[in-house]
Structure 1
């Protein structure tokens, strides 16, 4: 599958992606680099091999830092270093998340707090950290990755779906607060995207068949299917779109 959309204003844009070296995030890093953007990303595991791959493919290297995004001071420090390296961040993609399965009766306070720290708290403080740079740059775009899981009322990960819903409320409030400064904030809700992690841990022939049966479009979603939507929300092509939640799920849920 190849990316078709070209957004000229993304060339040389300073982009920061959480979880940008694996899963959907790796495809986002690749997608922005194809546009000529300057990409920084963080993730917990070492992404040196992926950076080597991107350098060989694009002729330049993304700026990678190891970071546990639930450590807010460390996340803010990484954002500051990225801005110093490539200029103020004008496109922030809050992508990293943890959708580990869990039963309600087994959730401890410690697990709940850690889940919210990864899936919601880090999003808010990353947004907070880039606002000043976007102000001085005359505007910017934030894309908060959520999920259709909460829209479907899925069971099996209530802390995760709670955070997903919270991301949408946060997105709308920040869009309203910072819109006058030309800072746009939108959410993107993917459906069941078959990343390597999903295939290894949760995909079964029966489960994926049942899910595709709920879709209007009878094909499974790949990480590449999310890239163009994120690029669109980050570019001037969506300059009058903010406070919205865009769904890319093959037609499972209905929004609006």
Structure 2
């Protein structure tokens, strides 16, 4: 079987925890390496992997089949477009792009080039969400009247990662954690008839949104999606009434 030779565009926490271990373990894939601007960290964990000094060096490597775009959200459109134009398949972390127009352009380009383009939605395989999915699909609760999904934490301090706290089109909790909760709601219930959202800044000195409360309106029930940094006591991630 020919393996899918795969490269990452970053080897920080995302590459180290969410991508590289699974690529290395799966028999159908081969971890080619990662774009690393100043360090060669991937080679410490995977001696056969390569540290690519530039994005261009990855795109010019004709042996690479698939590129995982796991860089900051505001770069997703630019980098994914270059990956597709280079004739390589792309897997993009959430949020896919910062605008709907960018998403449509990338989808059209992948179709034109006959390449695979997908969004990495790993939270669909969380054990608690799989349990919720099973309960709802088997109608164990009867008619649902309300659902509430949370992705909360207690951390009022600003992140040391500059790209997370710098105001730009891809920053903020709505585009960081929001895609997980929104994707799960749409996966279970489909598109709502209407949407209300309260998006706030609550941390001292923050320049980006760090709290949201989204209400999805369906014909005979409601789904509330919430995330924030000031939830000190643990509450259920999923509440289904």
Say which structure, 1 or 2, has more relative contact order (CA 8 Å, 6+ apart). 1
Does TM, scored on the shorter chain, surpass 0.5? no
Structure richer in strand, relative to its length: 2
Task: Please state which band the TM-score falls in when normalised by the shorter chain.
Answer: 0.3 to 0.5
TM-score, normalized by length of structure 1? Answer: 0.42
Larger radius of gyration: 2
